[in-house]
Amino acid sequence: MLLISTNNFGQRKFKIKEVETKTWRSLFYTVDEKGKTIKELDTAKYFMRMSDDKYGYFAVFGVKNMSDWAAIDAYGNILFKVYNNSLGEFSADELIENKIRIIDENNKIGFADYKGKIIIKPQFESVTSFHKGKAIIAESCDKIPWDNHAKESDCHHYSIVCKRHGYINEKGEILELGNYTFKEIQTKINWKASEE
């Protein structure tokens, strides 16, 4: 079940403090800007963090029994699911141009801002990160496996092949969408992948 918080105003800045125990298990704490612990996170729920050691309004964690990434607030509440940016690997999206890709229960993609506020509701089948205020979108997409996967536990790598491409602005408005290739739209708007 996906929990998306729509009331995230008044978010509190924090960072994650990780303490490794003698049993090699990590304990995670949210810590305020004065170094005071806000909350100890439940290690039965959260198993891996992707956030750096900077203060921010949310942190990204792997959540057990969810097989997804989730953004959490200072109190451990799940704000939204974070897009996994590498098909076949466990790799969470990152803030680029102060926006992070998020997904809903139907695997539609949208964006949240650096404060954890959903700014473009999940609605796109495929969308890149933003570059100079524009992101490439695509629809009518298929996942094409790189290899046969003998077992479900095998690493599943895919390529995404889409029939229609276009682009949006930072408000999520579709500025163009049609029978274009990714390369045609990329060239038209001079889109580049982030080097952050």
The count of structural domains within the chain is 2
Q: Which tokens go with 94?
A: 């990152």
Examine the domain organization and report whether 112 and 131 are in the same domain. no
Mean pLDDT, all residues of the chain: 87
H helices then E strands: how many in the chain?
Answer: 1, 14
Examine the domain organization and report whether 3 and 61 are in the same domain. yes
Examine the domain organization and report whether 84 and 113 are in the same domain. yes
Examine the domain organization and report whether 101 and 78 are in the same domain. yes
- Check if the beta carbon of residue 105 is closer than 8 Å to that of residue 59: no
pLDDT digits (tens, 9 = 90+) for 135-178: 999 999 998 877 665 555 556 667 889 999 999 999 999 999 99
Q: What is the residue range of 142's domain?
A: 126-191
Residue 120, beta-bridge partner list? 111
Q: What is residue 1's predicted lDDT score, i.e. its pLDDT?
A: 41
Of 89, 124, 159, the one marking the end of a domain is: 124
Examine the domain organization and report whether 113 and 143 are in the same domain. no
Examine the domain organization and report whether 50 and 23 are in the same domain. yes
CA distances from 67 to 49, 81, 106, 170 (A): 13, 10, 14, 29
Examine the domain organization and report whether 17 and 28 are in the same domain. yes
Q: How many CB atoms lie within 10 A of CB 190?
A: 9
CA distances from 65 to 2, 12, 68, 166, 196 (A): 12, 27, 8, 35, 30
Of 124, 139, 167, the one marking the end of a domain is: 124
Q: Which tokens go with 36?
A: 């005071």
pLDDT digits (tens, 9 = 90+) for 79-112: 999 999 876 567 899 999 999 999 999 999 999 9
Q: What is the CATH number of the domain that holds 4?
A: 2.40.128
